[in-house]
Amino acid sequence: MHDVLLVGGGAVGLSIALELARRGKRVHVVERGVLGGESSWAGAGIVPPGRFDKQDSPLVQLGGLSAEMHVELAERLRRDTGIDNGYRVTGALYLAPNKEHRAHLEEEVAPFRAQNQICRTLDGAALNNIEPALAGALDDGRVAAGYHIPQEAQLRNPRHVRALVAACAKLGVTLTENAPVEEWIVAGDRVREVRTVQGSFAAEQFCLSTGAWSRQLGEQLGVRLAVKPIRGQIALLNPQSAVIRGIVYYGPRYFVGRDDGRVLVGSTLEDVGFDRRTTASVIRELLDFAVGLAPQLASADVEKTWAGLRPHSADGLPYLGRVPHLTNTFVAAGHYRWGLALSPATALTMTQLMLGEPTAVDMSVFRVGR
């Protein structure tokens, strides 16, 4: 008998498991496939800057707290597991491809200004200095306007997931892969156990954190979770030398330059159900974007392409809280594009909820059953 059983072993589920285990709880994570093998692995690993301020909205608080926690978490994971998750403060450029996009660009950077984050207007000299591969883009029409957010960070998703798994294992968390849940066994107002293809597992408390698959499992519990998958395709380029230094947003597309010189090019927002294929037309669009903005990438190797399924909630907010009619069952799902970025504060607040402690963030806006 475990104290807590987490159904879902992505970045959110593993982070909650790690936080609970650090509190001395006996934890079991049951994952339908490979731990961290879905959207947690597939994302770009972008961590927007932020600060924790009780005056902000709960979602902004969650982001600000997570941004602060990622710094210490990366160091702790490195110390405890020997795995460097690649957390680096590389900064980000927010660029408008044309005059029509300028208003949207202002909306994108407004949250940083509201939190007094550094937000510098770009001129040609600054752009050339920050990302030499984009030199002249403000003059030749590739870019209409832009801002530099120097405190934006990134990490390497696969490394981060590996570090979370290793840290959990080191603290005695039971990790079960390839065990999709077939049935929740409910008695009265409590879940007693889950039945999976690998057997039944009991616990005192349960938490559903299965990302894009949460809606179906929620229905089995009698709770509506308005979460659906949104596909995002990404291409990984290897130019053999550093071309893009940090993060570059350009309309709906982006670059993420890694410290080994590789460049992630993404991404798409496709409502296609549980379809994780990459398609020739979309990958071509991504490559055309990459070469059009940074011509030096024309000779880069296309090392890999993939797609992930983001868990999009109908109102844009994650579901974080207890299932209303069940006293021992909780949900942490629906983070959309920011599951990995928001996972540290999600883990902290969900642990506080499950242990009956005051939460760092007002969780009412995220309530399950809303």
Bridge partners of 229, per DSSP, are 311
- Position 69 scores a pLDDT of 98
Question: pLDDT-based confidence at 204, cuts 50/70/90?
Answer: very high
Distance CA 8, CA 330 (A): 12
Element (H or E) spanning 343, and its range? Answer: helix 339-354
Distance CA 275, CA 277 (A): 6
Distance CA 17, CA 37 (A): 17
With a pLDDT cut of 90, the percent of the chain lying above it is 98
What's the burial of 355, exposed, middle or buried (CB within 10 Å: 0-12/13-18/19+)?
A: middle
Domains and CATH numbers, the chain: 2-85+156-226+314-366 (3.50.50.60), 89-151+228-313 (3.30.9.10)
- Position 1 scores a pLDDT of 87
- Position 341 scores a pLDDT of 97
Distance CA 256, CA 243 (A): 10
Torsion angle of the four alpha carbons 289, 93, 39, 333, in this order, in degrees rounded to the nearest 10: -130
Distance CA 20, CA 168 (A): 10
CA 172 to chain centre: 25
1-50, pLDDT tens digit by residue?
Answer: 899 999 999 999 999 999 999 999 999 999 999 999 999 999 999 999 99
Q: Residue 333: phi, psi to the nearest 5?
A: -155, 165
Nearest to 317 by CA among 366, 367, 368: 366
Report whether pLDDT(234) > 90: yes
Nearest to 228 by CA among 319, 148, 115: 319
What sign for the dihedral angle of Cα 133, 134, 135, 140? Answer: positive
Distance CA 295, CA 292 (A): 6
Amino acid at 83: I
104-123, pLDDT tens digit by residue?
Answer: 999 999 999 999 999 999 99
140-197, pLDDT tens digit by residue?
Answer: 999 999 999 999 999 999 999 999 999 999 999 999 999 999 999 999 999 999 999 9
What's the burial of 271, exposed, middle or buried (CB within 10 Å: 0-12/13-18/19+)?
A: exposed
245-254, pLDDT tens digit by residue?
Answer: 999 999 899 9
- Position 52 scores a pLDDT of 96
Element (H or E) spanning 206, and its range? Answer: strand 199-208
Buried b (16+ CB within 10 A) or exposed e, 305-324: bebbbbbbbeeebbbbbbbe
Report whether pLDDT(289) > 90: yes
Beta strands 27-30 and 46-47 are unpaired
Angle formed by the axes of helices 157-170 and 58-81, to 10°? 70
Distance CA 211, CA 14 (A): 12
- Position 31 scores a pLDDT of 98
Radius of gyration of the chain (CA): 21
Report whether pLDDT(354) > 90: yes
Q: What's the whole-number average pLDDT of the chain? A: 97
- Position 326 scores a pLDDT of 98
Nearest to 177 by CA among 38, 39, 31: 31
Angle formed by the axes of helices 339-354 and 11-22, to 10°? 40
Element (H or E) spanning 22, and its range? Answer: helix 11-22
259-276, pLDDT tens digit by residue?
Answer: 999 999 999 999 999 999
